[in-house]
């Protein structure tokens, strides 16, 4: 997949293509549709119905360790597992916070790449924040992941597996609060999901298809967060899966956004907001605007007003968005720091006053570096 547009500024590490000859992640049933799983087994001379049996274990019962699948025939076991349930990743470290209701896992992928996921249990829901790439090529200067550059795209199964393991942890009562159900998924871990479009879309399909095809989550409870790859936002709007779109805006003016979110030099604020609004028009899903509040950088009252202007321009009104200002998570050695409390309050007040639903996001897990932008997998 080579997607480097001719106009990419040279300074931006926007190489979405995988280097030639790199070993691919192992193929797993979560990479495939139900039919493809069956066809694969038949091609290998194995009974096709085993595909459904394995899928039911994986997506229906959330069993991912073949050792627990005691109904597999001994003679074909190794072949079936090798074909559809290879080991994708190993948890190498786990940290928890908020009395065990926030759990961060560091995963080692088959080639040694490291990614992280974070499960957050709330009163009425449980959300997992997952990674879509090892590292990230978007180079936002306030984001820990952005500093290390892109290692590689993750496969659909690697993306999905983080969720299946989280769903199992919830179901089995491993997460403080007793057995429960994983309800929400946010693509807000490491990586830019829309720069790994094919695998991300595959993952969204698997997450929202009914078991045993997939996990059976509601599309509206799946949020894809993006820096604003405009053509990809348009494409996503046409897929017919009403996932929630989150746009990481962080500044209402091109001058500042060019620095904070470097892809802005390719797609301006106006173009990006336009694409987000088109997403709302096509899907009916209200778009979330992410805005990390940085002291004396993007948190001025006038920028709150400008943000309201930009979002409601072109007669769009205010009902199509929801703004999520996020107190910046301080990253060691960074020139950016969190805004003062009074400035954050004023910022939120102005936007609500302009009729735009605005809620300051919590900073769950920040003490274990599990909050937004801190997933750097610095092992
Ligand atoms: N690449 C995607 C998704 C990953 S990050 C995107 O940019 O949307 C998820 C969110 O965390 C984004 O809104 C990102 O801008 C934000 N974020 C990154 N670093 C942060 C930090 N230090 N403090 C608060 N939010 C941060």
Per domain, the residue ranges of the chain are: 29-84, 113-378
Q: How confident is the model at residue 367 (pLDDT cuts 50, 70, 90)?
A: confident
Structure confidence at residue 346 (pLDDT): 98
Query: Residue 377: what pLDDT?
Result: 67
Q: Is the CB of 31 inside a 6 Å radius of any atom of ligand 1?
A: no
| Res. 268: pLDDT tops 80 | yes
pLDDT in tens, 86-142: 999 999 999 999 999 999 999 999 999 999 999 999 999 999 999 999 999 999 999
340 close to 295: Cβ distance less than 8 angstroms: yes
The CB of 229 under 6 Å from ligand 1? The reply is no
Ligand 1 binding pocket includes 213 (Cβ within 6 Å): no
- Local confidence band at 378 (pLDDT 50, 70, 90 cut-offs): low
Residues 6+ apart with CB under 8 A from 24: 155
The Cα 39–Cα 28 span in angstroms is 14
Mean pLDDT of the chain: 92
Which pLDDT band, with edges at 50, 70 and 90, does 18 fall under? low
Mean pLDDT of the 192-215 span? 98
Is the pLDDT score of 9 beyond 90? no
Fold for the domain defined by 113-378: TIM Barrel (3.20.20)
Report the separation in Å between the CA atom of 138 and the middle of ligand 1, taken as the mean of its atom positions: 11
Is 327 strand, coil or helix?
strand
232-255 mean pLDDT: 98
Ligand 1 in reach of 186 Cβ (< 6 A): no
Determine the pLDDT at residue 306.
98
Give the residue from 163, 148, 135, 269 showing the smallest Cα distance to 221. Answer: 163
Catalytic residues: 116, 372
Cα 379 to averaged position of ligand 1 atoms, centre (Å): 20
Instruction: Give the containing element (helix H, strand E) for 222.
Output: strand 222-226
Pocket test for ligand 1, best of 244, 263, 365, 373 (most atoms within 8 A of CB): 373
Cα-Cα-Cα-Cα torsion 23, 26, 30, 35, nearest 10 degrees, comes to 90
Q: Which class is 29-84 in CATH?
A: mainly alpha
Read off the pLDDT of residues 19-74 as tens digits, 9 standing for 90 and up. 667 789 999 999 999 999 999 999 999 999 999 999 999 999 999 888 898 999 98
Span 290-301, mean pLDDT? 98
Confidence bin at 5 (pLDDT 50/70/90): very low
248 lines ligand 1 (CB under 6 A): yes
Predicted confidence at residue 375, as pLDDT, reads 77
Instruction: Report whether residue 188 contacts ligand 1, using a CB cutoff of 6 Å.
Output: yes
227-249: average pLDDT: 98
Mean pLDDT to the nearest integer, 176-186: 97
What percent of the chain shows pLDDT beyond 70? 93
> 212-227: per-residue pLDDT in tens?
999 999 999 999 999 9
pLDDT of 331 strictly over 60: yes
- Listed residue (326, 308, 305) closest to 316, CA to CA: 308
Q: Which atom of ligand 1 is nearest to the CA of 129?
A: 9
Contacts of 345 by beta carbon, 8 Å cutoff, 6+ apart: none
> What ligand 1 atom has the least distance to the C-alpha of 225?
8
């Amino acid at each position: 997949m080579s997607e480097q547009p001719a106009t990419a500024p040279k300074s931006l590490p926007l190489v979405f293509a995988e280097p030639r000859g790199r070993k691919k992640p192992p193929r797993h049933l979560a990479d495939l549709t139900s039919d493809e799983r069956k066809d694969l087994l038949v091609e290998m001379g194995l009974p096709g119905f085993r595909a459904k049996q394995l899928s039911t274990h994986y997506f229906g019962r959330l069993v991912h360790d073949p050792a627990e699948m005691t109904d597999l025939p001994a003679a074909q076991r190794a072949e079936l597992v090798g074909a559809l349930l290879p080991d994708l990743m190993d948890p190498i470290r786990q940290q928890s916070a908020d009395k065990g209701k926030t759990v961060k896992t560091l995963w080692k992928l088959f080639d040694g790449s490291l990614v992280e996921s974070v499960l957050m249990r709330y009163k009425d829901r449980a959300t997992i924040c997952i990674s879509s790439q090892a590292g990230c090529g978007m180079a936002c200067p306030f984001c820990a992941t952005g500093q290390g550059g892109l290692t590689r795209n993750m496969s659909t199964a690697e993306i999905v597996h983080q969720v299946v393991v989280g769903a199992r942890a919830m179901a089995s009562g491993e997460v403080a609060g007793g057995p429960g159900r994983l309800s929400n998924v946010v693509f807000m871990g490491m990586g830019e999901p829309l720069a790994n479009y094919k695998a991300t879309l595959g993952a969204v399909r698997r997450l929202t298809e009914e078991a045993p095809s997939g996990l059976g989550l509601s599309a509206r409870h799946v949020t894809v967060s993006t820096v604003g790859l405009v053509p990809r936002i348009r494409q996503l709007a046409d897929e017919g899966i009403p996932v929630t779109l989150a746009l990481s805006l962080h500044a209402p003016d091109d001058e500042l956004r060019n620095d904070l979110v470097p892809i802005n030099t390719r797609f301006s604020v106006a173009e990006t907001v336009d694409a987000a609004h088109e997403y709302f028009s096509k899907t009916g899903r209200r778009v979330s605007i992410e805005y990390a509040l940085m002291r004396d950088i993007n948190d001025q009252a006038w920028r709150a007003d400008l943000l309201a202007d930009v979002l409601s321009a072109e007669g769009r009104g205010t009902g199509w968005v929801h703004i999520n200002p996020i107190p910046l998570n301080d990253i060691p050695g960074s020139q950016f720091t969190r805004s003062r409390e009074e400035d954050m309050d004023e910022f939120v007040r102005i936007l609500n006053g302009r009729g735009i639903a605005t809620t300051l996001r919590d900073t769950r897990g920040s003490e274990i570096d599990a909050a937004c932008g801190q997933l750097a997998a610095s092992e």
